[in-house]
Structure formats: C-alpha cells, structure tokens
Amino acid sequence: MGQCAEKQCCISQQGEQKVCCTPTVGRCLSTGDLSLAEGARGAAGRNGSPQKNSNSNFAAEPDTVASEPDDEYCDDPNGGDSSAANGVGPGYFERELAEFLHFVGKGSAVEEARPAHRFETGATYTGSWKGNLRHGFGVHRWPDGAEYKGQWVNNQAQGMGMFVHRNNDTYLGQWFENKAHGLGMYRHYDCVGVTLYEGEFVNDRLNGYGVESWGEGSRFQGNFRNGVKDGFGVYHWPGGAKYEGTWEGNHINGSGTYVGIDGRTFRGQWHDSRMHGNGKFEWVNGRVYSGEYVFDHKDGFGVFVWEGGQKYQGYWRQGKQHGQGNIAGASSGASVAASWEKGRRVTDKDKGAVD
C-alpha cells in the first residue's frame, strides 16, 4: 500500500526535532535545512491513486470516473477479485453496447418506462427508454455492484447522475456523453478515511477550480488541470500550517509562501515542492535569512541576521557557511572578513572587533 503501518519518526540532520509520518503522509518528511516540520513535500506527494498509495490525489486512477477501479484498496466491501480489476478493461458504459445492436426497431420512438431489462452480461437497467435507447431517468446496475442512477440521453449518461463503484467510491454531479463533465463531487474511501473532491470536471478529469480534502484534516483549494494540482492553490495542514502559491504537475513549483504552525515563514521560489531559488525565511524569534536556496538548503549567496542583530553576509553550501563571508556585530557594525568551510571559520582578517 505504500503507507506507514503505524506512526514512525525520524530525526533531522541537525538533531533539533523529530518529524513524524502518519498513515496519510506515508513517509518520514525530510526537515531539510530549515525544519519545515509540517512538510510541503508531504502535501505535494499526493499525486497518484489512493487505491495504490496514500500519498495521492484520488483522480489519477481510475483514469475515468466510470472505468473499472483498481482493487488495491483496504477491505474491499464487495469481495472483488483483484486479478480482474486492473483498470485496463472497457469502461462500464461500454459493456452492453454490442447487445444494443440487436434492439434495432424495437420499442416506441416516444420516451416510455418499461420493465427492468437484464443484459447478457448480467447487468440490469430499469427506467425510461426511447426506441432501443436508454433515454430519460434510469438506473443501470452491473453484476459487481457498480451502479449509475441518473439521466440518460440517447443511450448515454448525460445530465445529473450518481455513479457508485463496487468499492463504494461515489461521483455525484453533471455528466456529458458518459463522462463526468461540469460540477461534481467525488468521494473516495480507504483504510485511513475519506478523500473528497468538490469542483469542476472536464472529460472525467479534475479540471478547473476545486476543493480536495482528506480525512486527517488536510485541505487543498485551487486550480486543477488534467487531474493534478496546477496553477494557483492553497494547501492547509491539520495543525494550521499553510502554503499559498503556484503548483505545477501536482508539485509546489514557482513562487509561494509557507507559514508553519509556529509562525515561521518562507516567501520565495520553489521547485518540486522544495525551497529552490531566491527566498526569505523568517523565524518567530527574529532570525531572518535572505538569499539563495538549493533543494531546501541555504546554498549560494545569502544574508543571515540573528535575533540579537549579528549578521553574516556571504556564501553557503548545503545549509552551512562555506566560502567568503563577513560577520558584522550588532551594535558597532564592525565586521570580520573570513573564509568558511562547512560552517566553520578557517581564516579571517580583522576589520575591527565584532560584538
């Protein structure tokens, strides 16, 4: 399943704090240089199928709302055979199409209700017909327990309707030509809770504005494109941390602001859900770093100011002073130019006392 069986903890490189993963995060979150304990990387990791792993956006699989679901979920309530549910077969709405070819000329050309019809596949349809086509309101049930209940137009699900998968995942909303299209709500169940999406669909995929929420309290509200977070969005963690900014391909990419549960803030550039590029990090105790980052670490040129007013201005590598830099005192402004290696001063040239 790709998730933690129970809560696990790992320690940051600095040994300053433990960072735990929960069953819905599925892995220990690297604290990186600045201990983003709530884990922007954990949020953006939700980009697969929840039926395959818990770090996921539910819409990636099945590929369409009415395709056959993957059986790698917890406690299949219908006791399905996972070997048959590989998501490769035809969608539900296509299964009985061949049989409809034998209905040519049957029935009235006027919409009418008829007794329940059983197909050779074992599926049943109860509702309105127009000639040999499902038309009007009707309920189509498949042998594995899946069901569509809603409006039909010329043999296609179109209008308002609800599709319930055999694992009880449910889509309720607008349809067009057998696809979720328009406004709708998709609810996914797994062993750690419920994932809910409410928003826009285009051709069976999340597309446009939507709100996605998870059972443990996380929530994303923003733009989706072709089933993944893409564009501007806001992600809320259960403890109160928040990221607000741009996304690309389900990852935090571009410019954005992260605010931790303790008030620490990063404003700047991101790549693949990590601080990468220019940015400014501010701690609640008054410390501030402004400069370059490489994959979550201070790397390149930057200025670090301590709460007491001391300041380092120079080069960094992997989160530590490395290269040429100046240390300036808090009150006198006098500085020391020095060379640094992995956070240790190795040579210096006094320009005055540093207080």
- Residue ranges per structural domain of the chain: 262-355
Q: Burial code of 118-153, b = ≥16 C-beta within 10 A, e = fewer?
A: ebeeebebebbbbbbbbbbbbebbbebebbbbbbbb
- Provide the pLDDT for residue 89: 31
Query: Which of 303, 296, 228 minimizes the C-alpha distance to 268?
Result: 296
pLDDT of residue 106: 62
Q: What is the pLDDT of residue 104?
A: 52
CA distance 97 to 163: 18
Q: Is 187 exposed, middle or buried (0-12, 13-18, 19+ CB in 10 A)?
A: middle
Weakest-pLDDT range from 6-15, 64-73, 152-161, 187-196:
6-15
Q: Is 85 helix (H, G, I), strand (E, B) or coil?
A: coil
- Residue 67's nearest CA partner among 176, 154, 165 is 165
Decide which of 124 and 72 is more confident: 124
* CATH number assigned to the domain with residue range 262-355, chosen from the 4 options 2.20.110.10, 3.40.50.10310, 3.30.420.40, 3.40.50.2300: 2.20.110.10
Mean per-residue pLDDT, 59-75: 35
Cα separation, 244 vs 66, in Å, equals 33
Whole-model pTM: value is 0.74
Beta-bridged to residue 230, according to DSSP, are: none
Measured between alpha carbons, how far is 237 from 39 in angstroms, rounded to an integer? 9
| End-to-end CA gap in the chain | 56
